Amino acid sequence: MKVLIITYYWPPSGGSGVQRWMYFAKYLQEFGIEPIVITVDEKQASYPSLDFSLNKNVENIEVHKTKTLELIRFYSFLKSGNSKKSIPQGNVGNAKKTFFDKIATKIRANYFIPDARIGWNYYAYKEAKKVIENNKIDLVITTGPPHSTHLVGLKLKKNFNIKWIADFRDPWTEIYYNDIFKRSKKKTEKDKNLEFEVLNSCDLVLTIGPSMKDLLAKKVSVNKIEFIYNGFDENLLENFEMQKNDKFVISYVGLLTSNYPYKSLLKALKKIKSTEIIFKFTGKIEQIIIDEFSQLNNIELIVNGVKSHKEAFDIMRNSDLNVLLLPYQIDSKIMITGKVFEYLATGKPILSIGAIDSDAVKIIKEESKISACFEKEEINLIQKFIENQFKNRSFSVKNSDFNFSRKKLTKQLSELIKKV
């Protein structure tokens, strides 16, 4: 079988959006399915970060890269003089807005439906049409965000009557930043109608977890929806050098902005009397948060910045405790960050704060007996958990009996593809 995967995020894009379909594509060939990928040229894409180390995962995959027309790069250039420096990620609307930001947000919300990357659609469809005409393509897969990508699948379905899977990594109309946008009633209805048409025109709706499936089941038959979790690639366990920490190392890895419950962690750390603790930030961390943590007198702070995927995982694995912060927002129950599976794969304890009814927390509770999950108000309990981990820390690494292998999950995907 040949499947055409249309995805905006693809190596060397960094961050979480790229990993789901990068790993699916990597392993599909082992299950008798040949992936062909259409994506955007990274020189023109609005990627918040780049990770060229990911390219090795997709060396044997046929990839077609296209031009694009990017509003977000233009916004970034006007804001900072650099087309990449001010690309928003994860915190749309949370930082203090200038007058320019407010105008740009209003334009983005009302004139670029469903999202600001819709300028890629013309080029993606043109390339997809060519690939389908020159190959025997059995099925098309589109993945969002950006959910505008699904409109390419919709057009292909109409014009070629081809089998089509629409993969939802995040909600569409319920995604949290839609509440921040000042979108008119007419434009809100347009967005809902596009989502409805996609959901009801595709042959299968795929998503990332049970709560997301429940959300989508309100809009389309539940019999048409399947979920496959994100997971962890065992290859990251290779070539690992264990370090012996003289101090107790706590790590936060990933994106962190002001809408996450980081202040609960900050308050708990302030109450700890030991000076034998190192706190490491790795990833894209809002500067105001770094400034607040740097004022802790009892904690040594290390800020690593953005690292490659492998480097970030090695930092998690060399830590004594990994921190997961879950934002309180409209889709918090649904969201399962890929970091959950990597934290679990380290075999190290996890401290989770926020959104305790989320699918992510349920997975942690089921998979790790040494971890703990707290609401943001439970400062004393957070403090006690950290202190107990410090007191009873283990210096050995025990790999988790891991149930979320990327290869196993791709086998599930291959079985779905063959049934569609």
pLDDT score, position 159 = 97
Structure tokens at 262: 């980081």
From the centroid of its chain, how far is CA 2?
A: 26
49 and 191 share one domain:
yes
Instruction: Calculate what percentage of the chain has a pLDDT beyond 70.
Output: 87
Specify if 396 maps to a domain: no
88 and 54 share one domain:
yes
User: Is pLDDT of 322 > 60?
Assistant: yes
pLDDT score, position 239 = 75
Alpha carbons within 13 A on the beta-carbon side of 220: 22
pLDDT score, position 77 = 46
207 and 307 share one domain:
no
298 and 359 share one domain:
yes
Write the pLDDT tens digit of every residue in 359-387.
999 999 999 999 999 999 999 999 999 99
Structure tokens at 159: 């014009």
Write the pLDDT tens digit of every residue in 160-196.
999 999 999 999 998 766 666 677 888 889 999 999 9
pLDDT score, position 83 = 46
Alpha carbons within 13 A on the beta-carbon side of 310: 15
- Tell me the C-alpha distance between 329 and 90, whole Å: 12
Write the pLDDT tens digit of every residue in 3-32.
999 999 999 999 889 999 999 999 999 999
How much is the average pLDDT of 112-123?
90
The CATH number of whichever domain residue 352 belongs to comes to 3.40.50.2000
Give the closest residue to 306 by CA, choosing from 373, 243, 348, 255: 255
- Tell me the C-alpha distance between 59 and 32, whole Å: 18
Specify if 82 maps to a domain: yes
202 and 80 share one domain:
yes
Query: What sign does the CA torsion over 20, 62, 147, 136 have?
Result: negative
Cα-based distances in Å from 149 to 3, 171, 186: 16, 14, 22
121 and 15 share one domain:
yes
How much is the average pLDDT of 91-100?
52
User: Is pLDDT of 68 > 80?
Assistant: yes
- Tell me the C-alpha distance between 214 and 219, whole Å: 9
Cα-based distances in Å from 148 to 17, 145, 219: 15, 7, 18
The better pLDDT of the pair 79, 293 is held by 293
- Tell me the C-alpha distance between 114 and 120, whole Å: 12
Specify if 131 maps to a domain: yes
The better pLDDT of the pair 42, 177 is held by 42
221 and 104 share one domain:
yes
pLDDT bracket for residue 103 (50, 70, 90): low
Specify if 78 maps to a domain: yes
182 and 281 share one domain:
no
How much is the average pLDDT of 140-166?
97
3-state secondary structure 131-173: HHHHCCCCEEEEEECCCCHHHHHHHHHHHHCCEEEEEECCCCC
Q: 271: which residues sit within 8 A by CB, 6+ positions away? A: 379, 380, 383
Specify if 398 maps to a domain: no
Cα 108–153–220 angle (5° rounding)? 85
The better pLDDT of the pair 174, 302 is held by 302
pLDDT bracket for residue 405 (50, 70, 90): very high
pLDDT score, position 84 = 52
pLDDT bracket for residue 223 (50, 70, 90): very high
Specify if 397 maps to a domain: no
User: Is pLDDT of 71 > 80?
Assistant: no
What residue type is 254 in one-letter code?
G
56 and 159 share one domain:
yes
Least confident interval from 147-151, 178-182, 251-255, 395-399: 395-399
Report the side by side order of strands in the sheet with 299-305: 299-305, 277-282, 248-253, 321-325, 350-353, 372-374
How much is the average pLDDT of 207-222?
96
Structure tokens at 2: 């040949």
82 and 207 share one domain:
yes
pLDDT bracket for residue 52 (50, 70, 90): very high
pLDDT bracket for residue 333 (50, 70, 90): confident
pLDDT bracket for residue 86 (50, 70, 90): very low
Q: Are 232 and 417 in contact (CB under 8 A)?
A: no
211 and 348 share one domain:
no
Contacts within 8 Å (CB) and 24+ apart, 187-194: 187/109, 187/110, 187/113, 190/113, 191/113, 191/114, 194/113, 194/114, 194/151
The better pLDDT of the pair 73, 265 is held by 265
Specify if 399 maps to a domain: no
Cα 358–362–365 angle (5° rounding)? 140
Instruction: Calculate what percentage of the chain has a pLDDT beyond 90.
Output: 71
Burial degree of 297 (CB within 10 A; 0-12, 13-18, 19+):
exposed
Q: Which domain holds residue 185?
A: 2-231+406-419
Specify if 400 maps to a domain: no
From the centroid of its chain, how far is CA 163?
A: 26
Give the closest residue to 218 by CA, choosing from 202, 196, 201: 196
pLDDT bracket for residue 396 (50, 70, 90): low
192 and 314 share one domain:
no
pLDDT score, position 46 = 87
In whole numbers, what is the pLDDT of the chain averaged over residues?
89
> How many folded domains does the chain comprise?
2
Least confident interval from 84-93, 104-113, 369-378, 396-405: 84-93
